[in-house]
Structure 1
Amino acid sequence: MKSFLYIFILLFIACNLSAQQSIKGIVTDAESGQPVDAATVQIRKAGQPVPLTYTLTDANGQFNLPLRQAGDSLLIHVSLLGYKPVQQRVTAGSTVHIRLETEIFTLKEVEIRPGRVYGRQDTINYDVAQFISPRDEAIKDVLKKLPGVDVDDEGTISYNGKSISKFYVEGMDLTGGRYNQLTNNLQADAVKSVQVMENHQPIRALQKKLTTEDIAINLKLKDNFRDRWMTTVEGGMGASPLLWQGMGNALQLSRKSQSAYIYKGNNRGKDVTDEQNVLTQNSLERQSGPALPAFLSQPSFSAPLKKERLLFNDVHSLSGNRVYKLNETMQLRLNANYLHDFKRQERGSITNFYQTGDTATLTEQSDTHVRTDRAEVAVNLENNAESHYLTNNFSLSGNWESGTSYITGSSAANQRIRTPDMGAQNYLQNIWARDKYTLEVRSLLRYHNQPARITIDGDRQSLDLQQLYMDHSLSFLRKKGNLTRQYTAGVTGDLNSLRNGTSLYFTPNYQLNRHKWNLSFNLPLVWTTFPEADFSRLAVNPFFYINYKLNYAWRFSFHANYREKYGDITDFYPDAYRTDYRNMRINNAIMPVNRTQSYSLYGEYKNTIREFFATLSLGHNRGWSDRIFEQQVRDAQIALVSHRLSNHSSGWTLKGTFSKGFYDYGLKTSLNYLLGRNQAEQLSAGERLPYRYDFMQYEPKVIWTPVRSFAASYQATINLGRSKIGSDTDLTPLLNVVQKLQLSYELFPVEINLAVDHYHNDVSRDKAVNAFFADLSFRWKTGSWQFTAEATNLFNKRQYSYTQYSATESYTSWINIRPREFMVSARYRF
């Protein structure tokens, strides 16, 4: 009887399996031939509205529908907003190819269009084909056009006003946060779509356990560009004086391995050093520790102008990146960077120092040269599995900087500053995820040697600093229902050439996740001690955060925190030391205790169909410190002297962003704005001198591509600031306006580009400076070749003046800028 029963069950299963078949297929765009993602595929019986089964197409447009019932009257129905629905007969076991035609229609006064911008859960997708134009060379040019996305002059990418924390190509982080190397060099037409991922948790073992507010961007490539080498070489020569530029890159990007090798060099004022900067800042402190302490810094070359106008340079930048996907969860990344940069600048200034009952005025002119040689190699191994996460990042770095300045004016001097830095660092993070709990171990080791030197008229001062910094911690996490509890205990050690220190910390962290609500609360307890300096403090730093997501479009949040921080180990330096030829610092071995309260209220709105994004944030902070600086001005020399006296500061800010795309007109408009006030105090002639700074900034931007042959962009930065110092000094409000207009027209086969900049700067109450700059270029493309002729600073302006306020100072400066220049170049793409 049992044998008969077994045979009957086996026969039943076999008959059932033989009856179960599947229908497979692919869905593509009828016009472009590209796969269609997230289309709904249904199988119905003729005459019956209820589907037998359904699914969604994957990223490759493919689907597979198993059938328990087979018949001759089956229909396949495929639909997606923005496309005409398709229905056709199908038989079980067949493979079909469905081509969808685009369709524009109106639903409840909302116009739906296919593919340009669409969102699903926490991911926003942008179809690059709907934004790209023939003038877009690199993917950065396209990113600037995306509604809700902003790219600043340094290349930092933000979404809805928040900087991104990760940058991927095909799901892989090739550059370790130096994403300018990709956005500047990856050709625009190689990218199929741009994905913006909100609430991004990159560690799989912590997904659905710890929520984040991080933003990530992922680029998806077209099939014919994936896993092939994309190579570009360029060279150019120019005059006034002899100018040169060169570039070469080779990129290979796939889902299993990626490479990027880049060289750039020039002496025409283009700053390529940004490509070696880590721009994803969110995890830097955790993985690299606090900022490196330093006594000295090199002179800056800043001014409210484009860098290309004021930078006299001779620069070479080399970068090599390689990432291997060892298996489904493990990858190995290698990064190497080298930079040689020699910069020159001539400038002059008149600086007013406002003190109690007196104003000191100093004038100067300087000729400064700074040479930088910087190298870094890094190796990262990562295993990102759901049950186990491991990352180990090891790096070696060397930075050799030397600056020479020749100064005349109120104080004449010859100055040389050397700030070399040699370092090694290793960061290890290990996470084990179990059913009921998760364990995490972190370890950071960092060593730096900084033998700084400053020489003024032959008088040399050595400011050597060596530091070994360690941070080790253990975390226990458990999630039960909607509540996540995490407890972290750790120890840090600071072994250095001034004062050794250590700290112990314990941080309980709680997260409550409801359907629309997310609440976070943590209460770090930190005990910090420097035994040799008789410094010991116990700090409690509570943090509270609440987030409410009304729906897909609206989100609101509020945070409040209190934090106690201290200075760095250079504050223990007992002697006076010079920071440059004019400034001296006297810390008096005082380690300051700084306490801050901060609050912020934030609101966000997004509508992907209308291509409208907006944010608004209101923030307030109050600070207390037991140290105050006194500014002493005597005989054209300035001393900052530290005193153990309590003082306070406060401030508020109102900031926000608007971004709106207009599909029919090829138009993107955006506005960033910031209003605020800062108040603080410092000592002057032994008396407290309060000061207040009010500021306002607006940045409207417009990018317009109405037709294939024409494009225009406009960007303005409007700054208004004023300072009040003490009760008697109310400085004149300064209005600074920068306007940039770019026009591009294609008169086949030549593309003409015109850029016009206007700068308005208030210099004093009765005087303002207006400066106009214009650049013109002609570009001719034929096959894989591109030839360009450029003329910059057509009006041949040679000098620029501006005035700025800073705390209890105001300074009016002039700076030499690059003259009229001409350049011809040729580019070839393999």
Structure 2
Amino acid sequence: MVRGAFLSLLSTLITLLPTLSASAQNGNSTLTGTVTDGLGKAIARVTCKLLDSNDSLLAYTLTKSDGTYSIKNKPGARQITFSYLGYESAAAPLRPGKTRYDATLKRNAIELDNVTVTIDPITRRKDTLIYNVEAFRQQEDRSIEDVLKRMPGIEIDDYGQISYQGKAINKVNIEGLDLMGNQYNQATQNMPAEAVAQVEVMERNQPIKALEDKVKNDRATLNLKLKKDYKARPFGEVDGGIGVSPTIWNNGLTAFNIARKNQLMVSASMNNCGIDLSGMTHAMDYYGSQYNTEPLPQPFLYSPTARTPPLSKQYYLDNKSYYAALNYLHAFTKEQTLRLNVTWWRDNSLKRDSTFNRYVTRQDTVSIYENNKIRDKQDLVKGQLRYELNSRRWFINDEVSAMLSHGDALNRNGSNLGPIEEDVNRRTYYVQNVLNATLNTGPRLFEISSLTRFYRQTSYERASVQGGLPGQEAGPMASPVHYSAASMITRNRIGTSFSVPLGSLMLGYILEYKHNNTAASYLEGKQRGSYWLHTIEPVYEIMLGDVDINVNLPVEYISYEYGGGRAKRRKVMFSPLVDADFTISTLLTADLTVGLIKGADTQATPFNGIIINNYRTYTVGTDSLQTSRTATVSASLAWLNTASMLSWNIYAGWQQIKRERYWSYLYTGGMTVISPVWRDNRHTSWSVVGNMKKIWRTPEISLKGSVSYSYNKELASQNGTEDYIRYSAASADVALNWNKLRWLSARLTAAGNVTWKRPDAFSQGSNVLKNIYYTLGATLYPIAGLQIRADMSQATFEISHGQYSTNIFVNAGARYDITKTVAVMLTAVNLLDRRRYEESRFDGANYAYTGVPLRGREVMLGLNLKF
């Protein structure tokens, strides 16, 4: 009944889908047959697909060991196809009254050189999709991530986070083992594409074996299957490059050794040519982190500038960056593993920009300009040691992790205040232990999870201001300023689940305690705050055939105290949330979420006094606990047809957040003061996002595109003026790749966006701004082993109404594989020698302009060695 109601609600959209179109036929019969090879020998595990007139998949099955199959006929079915790796595919049109269709598959003719073997790009084995890498890999693809981006249903963001059908994946395994944990981007961005034979996507995979058939999981797990020649031996690459204008370099090393019980990955890189390596330190979404994730506190001190433009960092990042990582896993058995992951990163960059900000009020307009030159030095080392037992009865993992970082930013700034020199220095470390345990007794599950972390940060700021314009005096700086912040948090959960009518009931209790301790050099003593948070968490999972509904009814009680009892608060919060997953067909899935979530802001560090953030920014701290209420509704549809190589997903969401507090801004020429105002306010937003990916194998064309629209309404308060501002943004992008010819490939990407806002107390116009980007590229393969590529990109930004800034970039490169293991490379970046980038934007009620100097023309010669 639930499924029927949902189908009715979405009928307008779904009737557009070919496989769900109405049909006058009745397909109640069962189709049978036998699949053999040319010698009459039965072939097992042949994929048998039932297709309609548009080649859309209606049903599928696999042949048994004796070569026989049985598949239920479907309305609209027109043909049945047979495919198996190493054999040519076969097809049989369906005829009225006929129910038996036998097939004979011929082996593919395979030569060692110069002949392409045709294989099915995607095959299905129950809930696992198997992507054959060679069917998607192009000549210019270097890493397995390059190939993953071409696969339907898979999306990868700028940091390497992988999503499948619109949802972040659980993890990435290599030959069935979890070597990388939440740093799997290090492997996908460095593993050579030619080393991987298949990518297995295990849909709705429950990675904890003790929870299989007990707790459903709507996310996928990826498994990289290596080619036979790359198993149980070292393989990898060494890169070296040097160039001029000025002297630039780019060097790297990647080594893998993937065996049955031991897996090792070592990687390192260093460059000064604008390649940002910080992404290698970013943690990816990872399974089992629901109760064990806690963001780090935000620092009091920060630089007021360093705007990041929407360009490739190779055009503007003036850097010296270094990175190294060691990842090792030992499997005691198939169920017990021990893993070590260590990452080190260093970055020394010079960040320069020119900014102009106009802050609008009813009475006056305040304009602030800055010319910044920041020498930013960052060091980070982090590691984790993890033990895991993953069996049908027991799941135990214990992970000890630690991080140490040091940052120093020296800014020589010319501004309204005159010449300024400011130094912001921070040292941060934490030590953390995470424990998860599950016992499956059959009728019941028992779970324990625990997070304990000790955190500390020390920071200081020194600033000197020389002169200044009349009326532009700086604020009351107390330079040098020293801060120290320490916190301890422990979160512990116990839970159980058992079967009830229509599904299962999970009951959990969470006890959380956090203590904050802060100090400032200009205030006496230390400031202390703490809270106890108790949560009772019942979850009812209802399973109605192809519909899975989770009803979450958590109740929280928080007891907050600050300053030895000077400030106290007690609060009970109830946060019902319902999430429903619908498997409408083998091709189409849907998700619907409705919730009313109440919560307390436990991330903010309490502070009673003025916080000096930088030379011109001051925040009035608060020692009171803020709570909020969030009403949310979202729905999504995801489609994947492996036969037609088409995937798409649509997301729509609405959210309204009611908070007890907002921030009021006071801008003057010399300082910015941010103060809390304790009054209810609402932030309303809604958005619609759609994307698709389609591959045509015969003309070798792939098409990828997305569209989005978002609307926001939120309260703005500055310089005594308050009003709700309403702003919108619409964007679209498309990417087209053509690889029909062996000697030529071409690509086109284009994107555009429009932003606007409604008139309000800060401005009477709509403030429409438009931007457009496109890139054209081509790669030639004139002789075996030689690649010559070139691309041109243009970015046009509307700086103010009717005034545009255009940046055009032309790049080129070549690669020649001397042997299978040795290649030489030549790259040329920014051949037109563009020297400056400009953009403008509306940030809420205000206008901001940014100008960034560019690196200029650079040419590099490189050498690549494979082993």
Indicate the residue corresponding to 1:368 in structure 2: 374
CA deviation string 1:444-479 (max 9, x = no partner): 110111112222228122221101110011001112
Q: Does 1:721 align with 2:776?
A: no
Indicate the residue corresponding to 2:391 in structure 1: 385
Among candidates 731, 735, 739, match of residue 770 of structure 2: 735
**Cα distance, 1:28 vs. partner?**
13
Indicate the residue corresponding to 1:761 in structure 2: 797
Q: Is the 8 A contact 2:667 2:719 kept in 1?
A: no
Q: Distance in 2 between matches of 1:674 and 1:29?
A: 50
Partner of 1:155: helix, strand, or coil?
coil
**CA 1:627/1:685 → structure 2, altered by over 3 Å: closer, same or farther?**
same
* Unaligned ranges ≥5, structure 2: 1-34, 49-60, 72-79, 96-104, 106-117, 465-477, 518-527
Partner of 2:800: helix, strand, or coil?
coil
**Cα distance, 1:231 vs. partner?**
2.7
Q: Distance in 2 between matches of 1:620 and 1:293?
A: 28
Indicate the residue corresponding to 1:827 in structure 2: 864
Q: Does 1:229 align with 2:234?
A: yes
Indicate the residue corresponding to 1:279 in structure 2: 284
**Cα distance, 1:550 vs. partner?**
1.6
**Cα distance, 1:181 vs. partner?**
1.3
Indicate the residue corresponding to 1:13 in structure 2: none
**Cα distance, 1:275 vs. partner?**
1.8
Q: Does 1:320 align with 2:350?
A: no
Indicate the residue corresponding to 1:352 in structure 2: 358
Query: Which runs of structure 2 are paired with 1:140-539 in the superposition (5 Å)?
Result: 140-280=145-285, 283-284=288-289, 286-298=291-303, 300-412=306-418, 413-457=420-464, 459-480=479-500, 482-497=502-517, 498-531=528-561, 532=565, 533-539=567-573
CA deviation string 1:621-675 (max 9, x = no partner): 1111111211111233111110111111101101111111111122221112210
**Cα distance, 1:731 vs. partner?**
4.3
Q: Does 1:101 align with 2:87?
A: yes
Q: Is the 8 A contact 1:493 1:503 kept in 2?
A: yes
TM-score by length of 1: 0.87
Partner of 2:698: helix, strand, or coil?
helix
Q: Does 1:745 align with 2:745?
A: no
**Cα distance, 1:234 vs. partner?**
1.4
Q: Is the 8 A contact 2:47 2:123 kept in 1?
A: no
Amino acid in structure 2 at the alignment position of 1:522: N
**Cα distance, 1:126 vs. partner?**
1.2
Indicate the residue corresponding to 1:5 in structure 2: none
Q: Distance in 2 between matches of 1:203 and 1:192?
A: 26
**CA 1:315/1:79 → structure 2, altered by over 3 Å: closer, same or farther?**
farther
Q: Does 1:788 align with 2:825?
A: yes
**CA 1:650/1:37 → structure 2, altered by over 3 Å: closer, same or farther?**
farther
Amino acid in structure 2 at the alignment position of 1:311: L
Indicate the residue corresponding to 1:94 in structure 2: none
**CA 1:667/1:222 → structure 2, altered by over 3 Å: closer, same or farther?**
same
Partner of 1:274: helix, strand, or coil?
helix
329-338 vs 247-256, which deviates more? 247-256
Query: Which runs of structure 2 are paired with 1:531-680 in the superposition (5 Å)?
Result: 531=561, 532=565, 533-568=567-602, 570-680=604-714
Q: Is the 8 A contact 2:588 2:639 kept in 1?
A: yes
411-420 vs 784-793, which deviates more? 411-420
Q: Is the 8 A contact 2:810 2:830 kept in 1?
A: yes
**CA 1:482/1:580 → structure 2, altered by over 3 Å: closer, same or farther?**
same
**CA 1:583/1:285 → structure 2, altered by over 3 Å: closer, same or farther?**
farther
Q: Is the 8 A contact 2:691 2:704 kept in 1?
A: yes
Amino acid in structure 1 at the alignment position of 2:186: Q
**Cα distance, 1:160 vs. partner?**
2.6
Q: Distance in 2 between matches of 1:38 and 1:720?
A: 51
Q: Distance in 2 between matches of 1:689 and 1:539?
A: 29
Q: Is the 8 A contact 2:325 2:342 kept in 1?
A: yes
CA deviation string 1:665-723 (max 9, x = no partner): 22221112210100011323444221111011212122221133222222223221113
Query: Which runs of structure 2 are paired with 1:62-81 in the superposition (5 Å)?
Result: none
Q: Distance in 1 between matches of 2:251 and 2:855?
A: 19
**Cα distance, 1:238 vs. partner?**
0.6
* Unaligned ranges ≥5, structure 1: 1-26, 31-35, 42-54, 58-62, 66-74, 86-98
Q: Is the 8 A contact 1:179 1:275 kept in 2?
A: no
Identity %: 20
Partner of 2:299: helix, strand, or coil?
coil
Q: Distance in 2 between matches of 1:542 and 1:571?
A: 27
Q: Distance in 1 between matches of 2:368 and 2:45?
A: 67
Among candidates 691, 712, 737, match of residue 746 of structure 2: 712
Partner of 1:600: helix, strand, or coil?
strand
254-263 vs 767-776, which deviates more? 254-263
**Cα distance, 1:193 vs. partner?**
1.1
Q: Distance in 2 between matches of 1:667 and 1:508?
A: 49
Among candidates 118, 122, 126, match of residue 123 of structure 2: 118
**Cα distance, 1:104 vs. partner?**
4.8
Q: Is the 8 A contact 1:590 1:644 kept in 2?
A: no
**CA 1:524/1:296 → structure 2, altered by over 3 Å: closer, same or farther?**
farther
**Cα distance, 1:77 vs. partner?**
6.7
Partner of 1:675: helix, strand, or coil?
strand
Indicate the residue corresponding to 1:799 in structure 2: 836
Q: Distance in 1 between matches of 2:170 and 2:378?
A: 28
**Cα distance, 1:243 vs. partner?**
0.8
CA deviation string 1:117-138 (max 9, x = no partner): 2334432221111111232211
Q: Distance in 2 between matches of 1:211 and 1:478?
A: 14
TM-score by length of 2: 0.83
Amino acid in structure 1 at the alignment position of 2:633: Y
Indicate the residue corresponding to 1:700 in structure 2: 734
Indicate the residue corresponding to 1:18 in structure 2: none
**Cα distance, 1:79 vs. partner?**
12
Q: Is the 8 A contact 1:82 1:102 kept in 2?
A: no
Q: Is the 8 A contact 1:269 1:311 kept in 2?
A: yes
Q: Distance in 2 between matches of 1:762 and 1:669?
A: 28
**CA 1:692/1:660 → structure 2, altered by over 3 Å: closer, same or farther?**
same
**CA 1:100/1:241 → structure 2, altered by over 3 Å: closer, same or farther?**
closer
502-511 vs 347-356, which deviates more? 347-356
Query: Which runs of structure 2 are paired with 1:56-67 in the superposition (5 Å)?
Result: none
Amino acid in structure 2 at the alignment position of 1:453: Y
**Cα distance, 1:83 vs. partner?**
5.0
**CA 1:180/1:647 → structure 2, altered by over 3 Å: closer, same or farther?**
same
Q: Is the 8 A contact 1:126 1:195 kept in 2?
A: yes
558-567 vs 771-780, which deviates more? 558-567
Among candidates 752, 776, 794, match of residue 812 of structure 2: 776
**CA 1:301/1:682 → structure 2, altered by over 3 Å: closer, same or farther?**
closer
647-656 vs 280-289, which deviates more? 280-289
Partner of 1:499: helix, strand, or coil?
strand
Q: Is the 8 A contact 1:653 1:676 kept in 2?
A: yes
C-alpha RMSD of the superposition: 2.5
Q: Distance in 2 between matches of 1:440 and 1:185?
A: 36
Partner of 1:327: helix, strand, or coil?
coil
681-690 vs 220-229, which deviates more? 681-690
**CA 1:79/1:231 → structure 2, altered by over 3 Å: closer, same or farther?**
farther
- How many residue pairs match? The answer is 756
